Amino acid sequence: MKTTIVTFLLLNIFVILNLPIVICLSIAFSPDSFLTIPTNNWTLKWFNDYFYQSRWTEAFIRSIMMATLSTFLGLTLGIPLAYAMTRLNIPLKRLIHGTILLPLIVPPIILGMGTLPLFYGIQLNGTITEIVLMHSCMILPIIYLILKNKVEHINPEIENAAMGLGAGIFETLWFITLPLLFPAIVISGICGFAISINETMVALFMAGPTNETIATMTWSQLKEAPTPLIAVASIINLITIITGFVAMKFTRITFTSNTNRIKRIQ
Amino acid sequence: MIKKLHPYIFIIPALSLITLTIFTPLFLMIRVSLLKPPEGTGFYIPDTLSFENYQSIFDSYGVSILINTSIFALEVSFLSMLFGFGFAILMQELSNFLRIICFICLLLPKFISPLIIVFGLQRLLGSHGIINDSLIAAHLINIPLDLSRNHIGALIAEMYLTIPFVTLFLFSELSSIDKETLNAAKGLGASNYQVFRKITFPMCIPGITIVWQLSIAWNLGSFLGPLFLGNPSNTTIACEVYHQAFEIGNWPMAATWGVLMTAIIMVFLWLPKLTFRFMLNENSK
């Protein structure tokens, strides 16, 4: 009896927590342009509008490109970092750990305000480069935390065995450690991608009128006159993230067949 | 053998990125805050040095914004911690299947732009929003309730953005407690309340400190809630930074607010550490 009540309560609470999202997403199917929740006439005409307006599609492609680049940069920097922080002897480890987690604590508005004069000074303002740099910095701590947790669970004896059998350091890292880390890399990559594509504040400060992303488009619509297109945009973003996740799952199955081989040895 | 590899090759790239994107901007922001505000065109007058921004910030308006921001952040963090801790404790009791559903519900807001959540809340809470319309249709009230465009609206919006994160973190913290300890305490005759008071809560204190620090740092920079669901009398520092930088175009003033915000965050990060350390010492006695 008690558990039923607890379950009921919890489910209610979580439904309430997601209610604004459901409401907002259902507006995408509304037939008229004021923002009403559709009752019986569900249409897809706003999706049609979205794909016919080059401003939205260009912003979408730019957002995807930006998120992919910053995830890639974050992973290239984060994988060696997480590995080194768990396995190697590094002086001032606690200080470095704190420094890496700093982007989690600093509010994005300070990052935006601080970098505005910086990139203005080096003539980079309004380009994609600065957004990519800022976003990869913001997702670095998350990638680092997920991967560090995973590296701690890999048995170092496997690497030692590979090197004892004559593999070099980089061969060991490439053929043994990376395949074992792959699931965690996928998860952290997806998290980074989702954060980067939904990030509003820094993009608002960085993106000029020539480099609009989905987030800044949504922002300007919300400030002036919101249309159902913002709901459509966020549904398409969500679909992209889920597709990316599923696609990565499949590549993992085909691409890293030797992960399973190593696991069997383990 | 791997230990022979020079560790700095792995670390220097990431640290240089963080230096470029966090430390340089922070120092630059301090420098910009010492410039003179623009006259006419431009964002600032280059090569000037004055403290007049800091002097002009501490008038009655500036102080009221500072107090507003601090109280607002404390309120949001406290309420979110309360709800999050409750959810996390309840989630411990659930079966695996329901727990996965709860995780999906908690993760969904993190995969959707916060703008969308705020927009949905506007639809939900506005004077012609769903809650008011359905209450009026049910003849429970005659005049719409004031839920948006005031303090309550801003509070609800920021709580929506904070609760998922707090719940997830506290859940993992609670799961790491050894169940045998709790069973042992119960076997020795402790009531549920006593178990919570003497064992569960003290064991969670390190985790609670971290979550509290993170959520207070985020909510000191709360922006979307006060802007879209609050009214002008409860604006926060972040709104003021945005206003100064984009709507007025006065970068030195915006940078001054930014420096002030960083200072307040540092103060608030140190305070809970001290209090919780004190509590921890009390409990270990």
State yes or no: pLDDT of A256 exceeds 80.
no
Written as six digits, the tokens of B62 are 């500036």
Q: Distance between CA atoms of A125 and B47, rounded to whole angstroms?
A: 21
Residue B174 resides in a domain:
yes
Ranges of H-type helices in chain B: 8-18, 24-33, 52-57, 60-92, 96-107, 114-125, 130-137, 151-175, 179-187, 192-195, 201-220, 224-229, 237-242, 251-284
pLDDT of residue A262: 56
In this complex, which of B15, B102, B245 lies closest to A10 when CB atoms are compared? B102
Of A10, A27, A103, the CB nearest to B90: A10
- Nearest-CA distance A198 → chain B (Å): 5
A208 Rama sector, left if φ>0, alpha if ψ -120 to 50, beta otherwise: beta
Report the domain count for chain B.
1
* Torsions phi, psi for A53 (to 5 deg): -95, 115
Q: What is the pLDDT of residues A83-103, one digit of tens each?
A: 989 888 888 888 999 899 988
Q: Could you tell me the CATH number of the domain that includes residue B202?
A: 1.10.3720.10
B220 to chain A: which residues are within 8 Å by CB? Answer: 107
Q: How far is CA A19 from the centre of its chain?
A: 23
Q: Look at residue A22 and tell me if it is in a domain.
A: no
In a domain, B72, yes or no: yes
Hunting for tokens 């488009």 — which residue is that? Answer: A217
B254: chain A residues, CB-CB within 8 Å: 113
Q: Is B164 on the interface with A (CB under 8 A)?
A: yes
Look at residue A24 and tell me if it is in a domain: no
Coil, strand, or helix at residue B45? Answer: strand
| B163: three-class secondary structure by DSSP | helix
Check CB contact under 8 Å for B25 and A115.
Answer: yes
- State residue B175's pLDDT score: 87
CB within 8 Å: B17 and A133 = yes
Residues in chain B with pLDDT values less than 70:
1-5, 272, 276, 278-285
Question: What distance in Å separates the CA atoms of residue B252 and residue B53, rounded to the nearest whole number?
Answer: 7
CA dist A44 and A26 (Å) reads 11
Task: Write the DSSP symbol of residue A106.
Answer: S
Q: How far apart are CA A193 and CA A69, in angstroms?
A: 9
Question: Is position A194 within any domain?
Answer: yes
Which A positions 88-147 lie with beta carbon below 8 A of chain B? Answer: 88-90, 96, 99-100, 102-111, 113-118, 120-121, 133-134, 136-137, 140, 144
Q: Chain A neighbours among B 28-67 (CB < 8 Å)? A: 28-29, 32, 43
The C-alpha of B226 sits at a distance from chain A's nearest C-alpha, in angstroms, of 14
Residue A181 lies in a domain: yes
Question: Could you tell me the CATH number of the domain that includes residue A158?
Answer: 1.10.3720.10
B126 DSSP 8-state letter: S
Task: Look up the pTM and report it.
Answer: 0.88
Residue at A31 is within a domain: no
Check if A158 contacts B (Cβ < 8 Å). no
Cβ of B120 under 8 Å from any chain A Cβ? yes
Of B2, B111, B255, Cβ closest to residue A241 = B111
Domain carrying residue B207: 61-110+163-284
Within-domain flag for B26:
no
Per-residue confidence (pLDDT) for residue B276, from 0 to 100: 66
Q: Check residue B179 and give its pLDDT.
A: 82
Domains held by chain A: number: 1
Q: What is the pLDDT of residues A161-219, one digit of tens each?
A: 888 888 888 888 888 888 888 888 988 999 999 999 999 888 888 877 778 889 999 99
Please report the pLDDT score of residue A196 as a whole number: 93
Task: Please name the residue that has the structure tokens 């976003």.
Answer: A135
- CB-based contact B115 A205, cutoff 8 Å: no
Q: What is the ipTM of this complex?
A: 0.86
φ/ψ of B45, rounded to 5, equals -95, 115
B154 domain residue, yes or no? no
Q: Which of A89, A97, A116, A151 to mutate to test the interface with B (most CBs of B within 10 A)?
A: A116
Amino acid identity of B184? Answer: A
CA distance B65 to A187: 40
Domain annotation covers residue A37? no
A108 C-beta neighbours (distance < 10 Å), count: 21
Mean per-residue pLDDT, A251-262: 58
Q: Which of A109, A163, A194 sits opposite B241 (nearest CB)?
A: A109
Residue A89 lies in a domain: yes
Note whether A109 contacts B258, CB cutoff 8 Å. yes
Tell which A residues from 203 to 262 touch B, by Cβ distance under 8 Å.
205, 214-215, 218-219, 222, 226, 230-231, 234, 237-238, 241
What's the CA gap between A53 and A45, in Å, rounded?
13
- The answer to whether B111 contacts chain A (CB < 8 Å) is yes
Q: Are A241 and A198 in contact (CB under 8 A)?
A: no
Instruction: Judge whether B18 and A140 are in contact, CB under 8 Å.
Output: yes
Q: Search chain A and give the residue with CA nearest B167.
A: A14
- Which residues of chain A make contact with B11, given a CB cutoff of 8 A? 80-81, 84-85, 90, 96
Closest Cα partner for A195 from A252, A148, A149, A138?
A: A138
Q: What is the reported pLDDT for B157? A: 92
DSSP A4-55: HHHHHHHHHHHHHHHHHHHHHHHGGG-SSSS----SS----HHHHHHHH-HH
What is the C-alpha to C-alpha distance for residues A113 and B238, in angstroms, rounded to an integer? 10
Q: What is the pLDDT of residue A176?
A: 86
| Cross-chain CB nearest to A81 (options B10, B121, B269) | B10
Q: Decide if B217 and A116 are in contact by the 8 Å CB cutoff.
A: no
Residue B141 inside a domain? The answer is no
For A120, the domain range is 55-265
